[in-house]
Structure 1
Amino acid sequence: MSLIKRFERNNCGRDLIVGDVHGYFGRLQVAIDEVGFDPGRDRLFSVGDLVDRGPECDLALEWLAKPWFHAVRGNHEDMAIRWPNGNMDARNYVANGGGWNVSNPPELSREFAEAFAALPIAMELETERGLVGIVHADCPFSSWEQFVEVLETEQLSGALKKAVFEAAMWSRERISGHASLDDVAGVRAVVVGHTPVQRATSLGNVHYIDTGGWFPAHRPEGRFTLLDASTLRGATVSRLWEGA
Structure 2
Amino acid sequence: MNPVQHFSRNARGRDLAVGDVHGVFSKLRAALDSIKFDPSVDRLFGVGDLVDRGPESDQVLDWLAQPWFHSVRGNHEQMAIDFARGELPADLYVRNGGGWNVGNPQHVRAELADAFDSLPIAIEVETGNGLVGIVHADCPLQRWHDVHHALIGHNGESLQQCMLWSRDRFDQENREEVEGVRAVIVGHTPLIRYSSLGNTFYIDTGAWIARENRPFTILDLETLQPVHQPSRGLWP
Counterpart residue identity of residue 235, structure 1: V
Distance 1:75 1:203 in 2: 21
Distance 1:181 1:127 in 2: 23
> TM-score, normalising length from structure 1?
0.92
Q: CA deviation at 1:219?
A: 1.1
Task: Give the equivalent residue in structure 2 for 1:85.
Answer: 85
Give structure 1 regions of 4+ aligned residues with deviation exceeding 4 angstroms.
none
Task: Give the equivalent residue in structure 2 for 1:67.
Answer: 67
Distance 1:210 1:185 in 2: 23
Q: CA deviation at 1:85?
A: 1.2
- Superposed CA RMSD in Å reads 1.2
Identity %: 53
Distance 1:67 1:147 in 2: 25
Report if aligned partners of 2:9, 2:127 keep a CA contact under 8 Å in 1: yes
Task: Give the equivalent residue in structure 2 for 1:125.
Answer: 125
Which of these residues, 194, 198, 212, is aligned with residue 219 of structure 1? 212
Gaps of 5+ in 1: 239-244
Task: Give the equivalent residue in structure 2 for 1:241.
Answer: none
Gaps of 5+ in 2: 231-236
> TM-score, normalising length from structure 2?
0.95
Report if aligned partners of 1:31, 1:237 keep a CA contact under 8 Å in 2: no
Answering whether residue 104 of structure 2 is matched by residue 110 of structure 1, we say no
Distance 1:96 1:224 in 2: 21
Which of these residues, 177, 180, 183, is aligned with residue 186 of structure 1? 180
Q: CA deviation at 1:4?
A: 0.6
Report if aligned partners of 2:35, 2:228 keep a CA contact under 8 Å in 1: no
Summarize deviations over 1:9-32 as a string: whole Å, max 9, x none: 000100000000000111000000
Summarize deviations over 1:75-103 as a string: whole Å, max 9, x none: 00000000011101111110110000111
Report if aligned partners of 1:140, 1:147 keep a CA contact under 8 Å in 2: no
Q: CA deviation at 1:146?
A: 1.6
Report if aligned partners of 1:34, 1:237 keep a CA contact under 8 Å in 2: no
Task: Give the equivalent residue in structure 1 for 2:234.
Answer: none
Q: CA deviation at 1:162?
A: 2.0
Task: Give the equivalent residue in structure 1 for 2:44.
Answer: 44
Task: Give the equivalent residue in structure 2 for 1:242.
Answer: none
Distance 2:24 2:68 in 1: 18
Distance 1:235 1:212 in 2: 17
Distance 2:157 2:178 in 1: 21
Task: Give the equivalent residue in structure 1 for 2:204.
Answer: 210
Q: After TM superposition, list the pairs within 5 Å mapping 1:140-155 onto structure 2.
A: 140-151=140-151, 153=152
Distance 2:74 2:23 in 1: 13
Q: CA deviation at 1:63?
A: 0.2
Counterpart residue identity of residue 223, structure 1: P
Task: Give the equivalent residue in structure 2 for 1:236.
Answer: 228
Q: How many residues align?
A: 230
Q: CA deviation at 1:181?
A: 2.1
